[in-house]
Amino acid sequence: MNKPGHPSFLILAVTFALIAWAAFLTGSGIHYRVLGMACFYGALALSWNIFALTGAISLGHAAFFGLGAYGSALFCQYWHWSPYITIFLGGTVGCIYGFLWHLTFRKLRGAAFALATLASVEIPKVTIDNWDRLTSGSLGLVGIARLPPVNLGSITFDVDENLQAQCFFLLMFALVVIYIHFKAMSSKWGWAIRSVREDEIAASTIGVDVPGIRLRALCVSAYLTGLCGAVYAHLMGSIEPALVFSLHFSALPLVLSIFGGRYQALGPFLGALILYPADQLLFHSWFPAGHAAFYGLVMVITILFFPHGIGEWVQQKTKSA
Amino acid sequence: MLFQLLIDSFSLGSFYALIALGFSLIFGVTHTFNLAHGELILLSGYLAYVLGKYFSIPFLFTLPICMLALVFVAMLLHQLLRQVKEPFELNSLVVTFGLALVLQNAMLFFFSANYRLIHVPPVPPLELPNLHLFITQTQFILVGLSLLVTGSIYLLWRKTFLGKALRATIQDREAARLAGINVEHMSLMAFILGGMLIGLAGPLYAQREYLHPFGGMEATLIGVIITIFAGVGRIRGILLGGWILGGVESVTVFFLGANWRELVSALVLIMLIVVRPAGVLSKRAKSERWR
| Boundaries of every domain in chain A | 7-320
Domain A7-320 CATH assignment equals 1.10.3470: yes
Percentage, residues of chain A above pLDDT 90: 21
Which residues, listed in sequence order, are joined to residue B127 by a DSSP beta bridge?
A: B134
pLDDT of residue A315 exceeding 90: no
Strands, E assignment, chain B: 126-128, 133-135
Give, in order, the Cα–Cα distances in Å from B107 to each of A254, A293, B116, B249, B263. Answer: 22, 10, 12, 27, 25
* Beta-carbon separation of A303 and B104 below 8 A: no
pLDDT score of B38 more than 80: yes
Rg of chain A taking only CA atoms, in angstroms: 19
Radius of gyration of chain B (CA): 19
Instruction: Flag whether pLDDT at B102 surpasses 80.
Output: yes
Closest-CA residue to B26 (of B83, B90, B92): B92
Q: How many C-beta atoms surround the C-beta of residue A73 within 10 A?
A: 30
Query: CA of A163, closest CA in chain B: separation in Å?
Result: 29
CA–CA gap between residue B130 and residue A127 (Å, rounded): 40
Using DSSP, state whether B69 is helix, strand or coil.
helix
> Of residues B263 and A21, which shows the higher confidence score?
B263
pLDDT at res. B194: 92
What is the pLDDT averaged over residues A143-170? 77
What is the distance in angstroms between the Cα of B168 and the nearest Cα belonging to chain A?
23
pLDDT, tens digit (0-9, with 9 covering 90-100), for A192-224: 998 988 888 898 898 888 899 999 999 999 999
CB atoms near residue B247 (< 10 Å): 17
Which range of A68-72, A82-86, A187-191, B118-122 scores highest in mean pLDDT? It is A68-72
**For position B279, what pLDDT does the model report?**
55
Q: Can you tell me the distance from the alpha carbon of A48 to that of A50, in angstroms, rounded to the nearest whole number?
A: 6
Using an 8 Å Cβ cutoff, are B225 and B268 in contact?
Answer: yes
Q: Over 60: is that where the pLDDT of B285 sits?
A: no
Cα–Cα distance measured from residue A56 to residue A214, given in angstroms and rounded to the nearest whole number: 9
Q: Which helix (H) or strand (E) holds B36?
A: none
How many other C-beta atoms can be found within 10 angstroms of the C-beta atom of residue A23? 8
Lowest mean pLDDT among A19-33, A286-300, B27-41, B177-191: A19-33
Highest mean pLDDT among A140-149, A230-239, A298-307: A230-239
Taking a C-beta distance cutoff of 8 angstroms, is the pair B212, B115 a contact? Answer: yes
Q: Which of A130-139, B14-23, B236-245 has the lowest mean pLDDT?
A: A130-139
Instruction: Identify the pLDDT of residue B197.
Output: 92
The pLDDT assigned to A92 comes to: 94
Q: Which residues contact A26 (CB under 8 A, 6 or more apart)?
A: none
> How confident is the model at residue A96, as a pLDDT?
95
Q: How many Cα atoms are found within 13 Å in the side-chain-facing hemisphere of A263?
A: 19
Residue A16: pLDDT band by 50, 70, 90 thresholds?
A: low
End-to-end, the C-alpha distance of chain B in Å comes to 45
Q: Which carries the bigger pLDDT value, residue A262 or residue B38? A: B38
Question: Residues A163-169: what's their mean pLDDT?
Answer: 82
Long-range contacts, A182-186 (Cβ 8 Å, 24+): A182/A265, A184/A50, A184/A53, A184/A217, A184/A220, A185/A4, A185/A5, A185/A53, A185/A265, A186/A4, A186/A265
Q: Is residue B288 very low, low, confident or very high in pLDDT (cuts 50, 70, 90)?
A: very low
Q: Do A116 and B105 touch (CB under 8 A)?
A: no
| The predicted structure's pLDDT at residue A11 | 67
Query: What pLDDT sits at residue A95?
Result: 94
Distance separating alpha carbons of residues B92 and A182, to the nearest angstrom: 29
The answer on pLDDT for B287 being more than 50 is: no
Q: Mean pLDDT throughout B269-274?
A: 84
B231: left (phi > 0), else alpha (psi -120 to 50), else beta? left
Q: Are the beta carbons of B81 and B33 closer than 8 angstroms? A: no
Please indicate if any CB of chain B lies within 8 Å of the CB of A155. Answer: no
**Confidence at A1, pLDDT banded by 50, 70, 90:** very low
Q: What is the mean pLDDT of chain A?
A: 84
For residue A255, list chain B residues with Cβ-Cβ distance below 8 A: 98
- B33 has a pLDDT exceeding 90: no
Q: How many interface pairs between A and B have CB atoms less than 8 angstroms apart?
A: 131
Entry field: residues in chain B: 291
CATH assignment of B2-116+135-290, given 1.10.1670, 1.10.3470, 3.40.50, 2.30.30?
1.10.3470
pLDDT tens column, A18-48: 766 666 666 667 778 888 888 999 999 999 9
pLDDT of residue B70: 93
State residue B278's pLDDT score: 58
In angstroms, the Cα distances linking B47 to A291, B15, B287 are 21, 19, 38
pLDDT surpasses 90 at B43:
yes
pLDDT digits 0-9 by tens, B47-79:
998 888 888 888 888 889 999 999 999 999 999
User: Which residue type does A239 have?
Assistant: I
Q: Which amino acid is at B285?
A: A
User: Which secondary-structure segment (H or E) carries A3?
Assistant: none
Quickly count: other Cβ atoms within 10 Å of residue A63's Cβ: 30
Is B196 a residue whose pLDDT tops 90?
yes
Residue B134, classed as helix, strand or coil, is: strand
Distance from CA of B144 to the nearest CA of A (A): 31
Report, as an integer, the average pLDDT of A235-256.
88
Q: What is the pLDDT of residue A147?
A: 79
DSSP string, A150-212: EEETTEEE-TTT-HHHHHHHHHHHHHHHHHHHHHHHHSHHHHHHHHHHH-HHHHHHTT--HHH
Domain ranges of chain B: 2-116+135-290
Beta bridge partners of B135: B126
For residue A20, what pLDDT is reported? 65
Phi, psi of A150 (to 5 degrees): -105, 135
Going by C-beta distance under 8 Å and a sequence separation of 6 or more, which residues neighbour residue A188?
A: none
* Average pLDDT score over residue span A55-60: 88
How far apart CA B185 and CA B165 sit, in angstroms, is 10
Please judge whether B101 and A247 are an interchain contact, meaning their C-beta atoms are less than 8 angstroms apart.
yes
Average pLDDT over residues B159-163: 89
User: What would you measure as the largest C-alpha separation in chain B, in angstroms?
Assistant: 61
CB contact under 8 A, B109 and A122: no
- Exposed/middle/buried for A229, CB within 10 Å: 0-12, 13-18, 19+? buried
Q: What pLDDT, on a 0 to 100 scale, did the predictor assign at position A7?
A: 54
Query: How high is the pLDDT of residue A40?
Result: 92
Distance to chain B for A254, nearest Cα, Å: 9
- ipTM over 0.85 threshold: no
| Residue A164, pLDDT above cutoff 70 | yes
* pLDDT tens figures, A253-262: 988 998 888 8
Numbers of helices and strands, H then E, in chain B: 11, 2
CB contact under 8 A, A289 and B262: no
Whether B263 sits inside 8 A of A123 (CB atoms) is: yes
Q: Which chain B residue shows the shortest CA-CA distance from A57?
A: B90
A112–B101: do the CB atoms touch at under 8 Å? no
Three-state SS annotation for A76-113: HHHHCCCHHHHHHHHHHHHHHHHHHHHHHHCCCCHHHH
**pLDDT above 70: residue A8:** no
Q: Output the pLDDT for position B280.
A: 54
